[in-house]
Structure formats: C-alpha cells, structure tokens
Amino acid sequence: MKILVGIKRVVDYNVRVRVLPDGSGVDTEGVKMSVNPFDEIALEEALRLREAGKASEVIVVSAGGDECQQQLRTGLAMGADRAIQIKTDGPLQPLSAARALLKVTEREQPGLVILGKQAIDDDNNQTGQMLAALWNRPQATFASEVVLDGEKATVTREVDAGLETIEVDLPAVVTVDLRLNEPRFVKLPDIMKAKRKPLDVLPLEELGVAVENDLAINTYSPPPQRQKGIMVETTEQLVQELKNRGLL
Amino acid sequence: MSKILIVAEHDGQQLNLSTAKCVSCAQKIGGDVDIAVLGQNVDGVAAQAAAIGGISRVITVSADHLEHPLAANWAPEITTLAADYSHVLAPSTTFGKDLMPRVAALAGVNQFSDVMEVLDERTFTRPIYAGNAIIKVSAAAGSLVAMTVRTASWQAAAGEGQASIEARDASHADSGHTRYVGLKSEGGERPDLQSAPMVVSGGRALGSEENFSIIYQLADKLGAGVGASRAAVDAGYVPNDMQVGQTGKIIAPDLYWAFGISGAIQHITGIKDAGTIVAVNKDAEAPIFEVADIGLVGDLFTVIPELEQLLD
Ligand SMILES: Cc1cc2nc3c(=O)[nH]c(=O)nc-3n(C[C@H](O)[C@H](O)[C@H](O)COP(=O)(O)OP(=O)(O)OC[C@H]3O[C@@H](n4cnc5c(N)ncnc54)[C@H](O)[C@@H]3O)c2cc1C
Ligand SMILES: Nc1ncnc2c1ncn2[C@@H]1O[C@H](COP(=O)(O)O)[C@@H](O)[C@H]1O
C-alpha cells in the first residue's frame, strides 16, 4: 500500500509575521520557510506505518512554485521514497489544492492520504476534508491515533468534547493533529541521500486543474492590539484590583 | 435578500451554544435565517433551536445513519438543503471545521474559515497566521457562501422565538464507509471551557498531573472553567480537550487566569478576546505580560494558596 502525504511550504512557526504597511500582504521577505508543522507529523506517521510493514511506499507531494522543492527535499531526507511537485505559480485556495491533490491521488492510488489538519499560514483547515469529498472517500480529521488493520483504519480524533473514535474503510483521507507523534530530526547524511531520490514535476495545467480562487482577499490588516496592562506586586493587590474592576 | 442556513451543533440532547452564536452572525448578514438539525430523534434539539429569536424555520432530517455527525453522511444532506440558500453557516468548532469544508467542496466553493466580522453580505474578516493578520475576503457574486463562524467573536443570540419546525426525509443513504465507534469525554461537572465567564489555566510550570490539582481547586472556588497550554496537555497533566490556543479552543471569557504559561503566540491566539487577562509567572520577562491586563511576577505555588485564603 502506498501512502501519499501533502506538504505545504509555509512561514516557519517561530516567525512573528507582520502585515505590510500598505495592507497588500504580509512581509515574507527573507523570512525562514519550513514544512508546515502538521505536515511533518503527517509524514512521520506515514514513515512509521511503512517501518511497521503496513505500507510499501511513502510519497510526498506539494503544490507550489519551484521553491517548494526545498520542503519536498526535507520530506525525502526525513525518509519519504519519492516526491512530486505540482507546479503552479500563484497561491492555491483549498478547493484548488484539493483538486490538484485529487489528480495525483487518482494517478498513484494510495491506500491512505495523510495531510495536516491545517496550514499555519492561511489557517484554513479545509484541504483534507475537500479532497475526501471530491474523492468520495472517508475523512478522519484531527487524528491523534491511527491504527491500520487490513482494509480499514481506526482513528482517534481530537474533538472539543474529548477523544472521538471512528472507523473508516480504505482508501481514506486522514488529517493529523499535534499529538499524533513527534517527528524525527533530519540527519546530515540523509540530506545528502535525499538529493538522489526522485522528484517529479507535474505542471498543474497538465493535470487538467484550473485554478479557481473564488474568494478575493481585499486587504490585510494587523490585529487589534490589547492595551498593555498593569503589574501588581502582591497577591493582595491582585485581588483588590480585580474587586475594583468588579471581576471578583 | 440573503437566505441563510445554519447547521445546528448538538449531542443528541442539547443544542450547543455555538449555534446561537452563528445566529448572531447570520443576523448581521441579514435575511431569512433557518436552522438545520440533523440526527436521529432530534425533536428535543429542534425545539431548542426553534426557541432562538429571529429564526424563520427549523428543518429536521432524522435517520439512523445521521445519529452522529459523521461528515461523510452529513455533508451530502447539508449540500442538498443548501441548494435553496445563499449562505450556509456552521460554528468554527471541531464539529463545523470537520463538516463544512466537505459541504463547500460538494458545492464547488471555497469556505470562509473562522469569520470574525460581517462587512456586507459577501464580505467578511477572518484571522490568518495564528491571528497575526486579519484579512478582508469577498465571495464571487452568485456562488454559495459557506463559512465557519469564529464563536469567540460573537455573542449568543437571545430572544424568545417560535419558529416552525419542518421534518424532511434524508436524501442520501449511509455512505457505508465511515462508522462511529465512540467518544471518550473527561469533562466533569465544571463549567464548559468554551462558554464559561471565567477560566483558570495552567501551563508547563505545574510540573505534574498531581500538581495540576491546585488549578482545579482554585477554579472550583471561583466557579470557573479550566484550561491549559499545549505544553501541559502534551506532558499529560490534563486531557486534550482543555487545550487553549490556535490548535485548541479559542475562548473569550470575561476573566482569564494564566498560571505558569509563558504566552507563546499560539496560546495568546486562543485568549485574545478575553475581557481581562491575569498572568502569574515567575519570569518578569515572560511574553504573557505583554498581553496581560494585570500581571504578577511570582511563584504560582505560593500565589495560588494565598489567593485561596483571600477568597475565603
Ligand atoms: C503549530 C503549533 C501549534 C500550537 N498550538 C498551541 C495551542 O493551541 N495552545 C498552546 O498553548 N500552545 C500551542 N503551541 C505551543 C506553543 O508554541 C508553546 O510551546 C506552549 O504554549 C508553551 O506552553 P507553556 O507556556 O505552558 O510552557 P512554557 O513555554 O515552557 O512556559 C512555562 C512558563 O512557566 C513559568 N514558570 C515556571 N515555573 C513557574 C512557577 N513555579 N510559577 C510561575 N511561573 C512559572 C516559566 O517562567 C514559563 O514562562 C503550538 C505550537 C505549534 C508549533
Ligand atoms: N499547496 C499544497 N501542497 C501540498 N499540500 C497542501 C497544500 N495546501 C494544503 N495542503 C495540505 O492540506 C493541509 C491543510 O491545509 P489547509 O486546508 O490550507 O489548512 C496541509 O497541512 C497540507 O497537508
């Protein structure tokens, strides 16, 4: 069984993102770019399934410009067998990303597609659910545990009320939450080895996917700032202050 | 005029408060507002939905395979219902986040995630980059507007409504490929984290599951809900449903207490809309003090017992 893992190149989670003064976007000039942290977890899970003998091949796929090859190489260094770049210049909204991933899914026929639950740039949290809809297959979102058993997977999901368990027939789409696993670190020799692993480039147009970004982003603005507050010296002062404000 | 359908979130017995928050958002969009209640034997929940002010109709679809909100079964039903509407809304809870993109994809549109404000009936604001930027986004004319509503940005709609209730048959069969197994819920009798007016949270500094009990004690004394940072959840001090932040719950209590939480951006994202933030941290440089309304530099293991005494 093959496992397909979606990887998005995003601004590193440690970067404090700033809106450009003219409101046309955020400042990504010279900023550190990384694999979306959820996607690292998705890939780690795929690798563990392969190492446990439950999968034969792990393929990483990213839709984006040539710069996303850097993140695909990171995926290969982590241990993926091969990589596919769906080449496209502009940004893809989730429906287009899902359509592009569907084409690759149809070509590769994986038993499992594992994606992050959300990309931490646009925080959309949509692509996996959309891919599952278009593919007409099960979705198991926000996974904190995945158990494969023959033709089905039992997935524990992090939901607001606690931990929900569902069972899905394969093939299926799983999106991962943070506590599923802790991704391995990439070692230097693996980076060298990754350079020789195959990375195919598929232009989006050749896949027959038209980019349809039906939501227009008009302006970017910084979030409203909270007023800086006061410091108190003692617990008594803290309680007094809260009482003065009618909060206790 | 807009025709708006809200997908009710419920557990079979109780309508979730997030549904009334979606109603406020719908009222801001303006137009006719209906609520869809899917499930099995949903008469009780439908009656609760019909009692929210300003609702025209409650539509129920009841079937065995709709008992649990499995997106694979619910999304086709919602998409069929949505054909009569200009907007379809669900709360930005794990329920809505799971379901709504599947609905949007079946309808062939992108979704607006975490809508904070309505600027006009097709233009909204929403946060990106963990709330470090807010974007103004518009939908193309004529297409269905599908969205999840950021519940912390909206008050629950009040009022005494008397909407009519209309039962419909399911239009789609069981997908057959997705089965509900069970839910493990550790939430006890404490106030619900997402709607509690006061929340007490603890971070990594608590050090252990046993130590975390001082947070529970204080919360119980205050009648508050209990939250935690991701570090505290990851370390196993508390269950996952208590995580506050970008990838946990986004909350807006009147008063939020952060004990031994450093104030990482991903945590702050979850409490930005809190009325007042109190932070207790032994590091005067901790970033939490940049957003706290009242800060106290100190050891939480000293401060909490002192607080308890003062509150007696
Ligand atoms: C993609 C992604 C998503 C994330 N989502 C979330 C999220 O949803 N929610 C979330 O919380 N985090 C999230 N994080 C993690 C976040 O970046 C931080 O790592 C986390 O919030 C830190 O938790 P903490 O403040 O409890 O721990 P720490 O950062 O370790 O802080 C502990 C604090 O306790 C103080 N302290 C220690 N001892 C005492 C004492 N005795 N008394 C008083 N103070 C003391 C220390 O000074 C320190 O400030 C996410 C990270 C990533 C990458
Ligand atoms: N351009 C892309 N290329 C590859 N995978 C993607 C892309 N966009 C989104 N994904 C996957 O979909 C997940 C959810 O993204 P989103 O819906 O944008 O929050 C990500 O964590 C990725 O696994």
Nearest to A215 among B93, B139, B179 (CB): B139
Q: Compute CA distances B167 → B41, B61, B216, whole Å.
A: 11, 6, 44
CA-to-CA distance for A14 and A19, rounded, in angstroms? 16
| Nearest C-alpha neighbor of B40 from the set B77, B87, B93, B80 | B77
Task: Tally the C-alpha atoms within 13 A of residue A219's C-alpha that lie toward its C-beta.
Answer: 8
Query: Which residues line the pocket of ligand 2, CB cutoff 6 A?
Result: A 6-8, 36, 38-39, 42, 61-64, 92, 94, 97, 115-116, 118-119, 122, 124-128
Report the atom number in ligand 2 closest to the C-alpha of A130: 17
* Chain B residue with Cα closest to A240: B310
- Which of A 155-214 lie inside 8 A of B, CB atoms? 157-169, 172, 177-179, 213-214
Q: How confident is the model at residue A103 (pLDDT cuts 50, 70, 90)?
A: very high
Give me the pLDDT at residue B252, please: 94
Specify the range with the lowest mean pLDDT, choosing from A49-53, A145-149, A225-229, B43-47: A225-229
Residue B279 near residue B261 (C-beta atoms within 8 A): yes
Residue in this structure with the two tokens 């709709």, named with its chain if needed: B66
**pLDDT attached to residue B247:** 87
Chain B residues within an 8 Å CB radius of A129: 71, 98-102, 105
Do residue B137 and residue A18 have CB atoms under 8 angstroms apart?
Answer: no
- % of residues, chain A, pLDDT over 90: 93
CB-based contact (8 Å) between B133 and chain A?
Answer: yes
Give the alpha-carbon dihedral of B260, B262, B263, B265, to 10 degrees.
-140
Task: Tell me the C-alpha distance between B157 and B163, whole Å.
Answer: 14
Which residue in B65, B311, B59 sits closest to B198, CA to CA? Answer: B311
Chain B positions touching A245 (Cβ under 8 A) are 276
What residues are paired with B225 via a beta bridge? Answer: B199
**Looking at ligand 1, which atom is closest to the CA of residue B207?**
38
- B143–A214: do the CB atoms touch at under 8 Å? yes
Q: Are B266 and B130 in contact (CB under 8 A)?
A: yes
Whole-model pTM?
0.95
**CA atoms of B231 and B219, how far apart (whole Å):** 20
For the CA atoms of chain B, what is the radius of gyration?
21
Residues 58-97 of chain A with CB under 8 A from chain B are: 93-95
Residue A121 CA to residue A25 CA, distance in Å, equals 12
**pLDDT number for residue B186:** 74
Residues 6 or more apart from A113 whose CB is under 8 A from it? A3, A4, A5, A6, A101, A105, A128, A131, A171, A172, A173, A174
Instruction: Tell which phi-psi region holds residue A199, choosing left (phi > 0), alpha (psi between -120 and 50) or beta.
Output: beta
C-alpha A5 chain-centroid distance? 9
Q: For residue B312, count CB atoms less than 10 angstroms from its CB and return exposed for 0-12, middle for 13-18, buried for 19 or more.
A: exposed
Q: What is the pLDDT, as a whole number, of residue B187?
A: 64
What is the rounded end-to-end Cα distance, in angstroms, of chain B? Answer: 56
Amino acid at residue number B165: I
- What are the CA-CA distances from residue A143 to residues A1, A155, A173, B269 (Å)? 20, 6, 11, 22
Instruction: Rounding to the nearest 10 degrees, give the CA dihedral for residues B86, B90, B92, B94.
Output: -140
CA torsion sign for B76, A165, A1, A44 is positive
The answer to whether A215 faces chain B, any CB pair under 8 Å, is: yes
Handedness of CA B252, B20, B115, A97 (dihedral sign): positive
Residues in B 57-76 with any Cβ partner in A closer than 8 A: 70-72, 75
Cα(A194)–Cα(A188) distance, integer angstroms: 10
Distance (Å, rounded) from C-alpha B124 to C-alpha B117? 6
Crossing angle of helices B300-311 and A235-244, in 10° steps, is: 50
Looking at residue A55, what is its pLDDT? 97
Question: Distance of alpha carbon A42 from its chain centroid, rounded?
Answer: 8
| Chain B stretch 245-264, residues whose beta carbon is closer than 8 A to a beta carbon of chain A | 246-247, 249, 254-255
Instruction: Read off the pLDDT of each residue in A229-243 and give the average, rounded to a whole number.
Output: 97
Query: % helix / strand / coil in chain B, to the nearest 5?
Result: 30, 30, 40
Whole-number Å distance between alpha carbons of A138 and B267: 31
Q: Where are the beta strands (DSSP E) in A172-221?
A: 172-176, 199-203, 215-221
Structure ipTM = 0.95
Kindly state the average pLDDT of the residues A193-219. Answer: 93
Contact of B154 with A147, CB cutoff 8 Å: no
The tens place of each residue's pLDDT in chain B, 312 residues long, gives 899 999 999 999 999 999 999 999 999 999 999 999 999 999 999 999 999 999 999 999 999 999 999 999 999 999 999 999 999 999 999 999 999 999 999 999 999 999 999 999 999 999 999 999 999 999 999 899 999 999 999 999 987 899 999 999 999 999 999 999 999 987 677 898 988 999 999 999 999 999 999 999 999 999 999 999 999 999 999 999 999 998 899 999 999 999 999 999 999 999 999 999 999 999 999 999 999 999 999 999 999 999 999 998
- Cα A71 to chain centroid, rounded: 12
> How many percent of chain A have pLDDT more than 70?
100
Burial of residue A227 (CB within 10 Å: 0-12, 13-18, 19+) is exposed
Q: Whose CA is nearest to atom 31 of ligand 1?
A: B262
Going from the C-alpha of A95 to that of each of A99, A125, A185, the distances in angstroms are 6, 11, 32
Alpha-carbon gap: B166 to the closest alpha carbon of chain A (Å) = 28
Tell me chain A's radius of gyration from C-alpha atoms: 21
A181 contacts in B (CB within 8 Å)? Answer: none
pLDDT at residue B24, as a whole number: 97
Instruction: Check B175 against A138: CB less than 8 A apart.
Output: yes
Mean pLDDT value of segment A143-153: 96
* Three-state secondary structure string covering B201-237: EECHHHCCCCCCHHHHHHHHHHCCEEEECHHHHHCCC
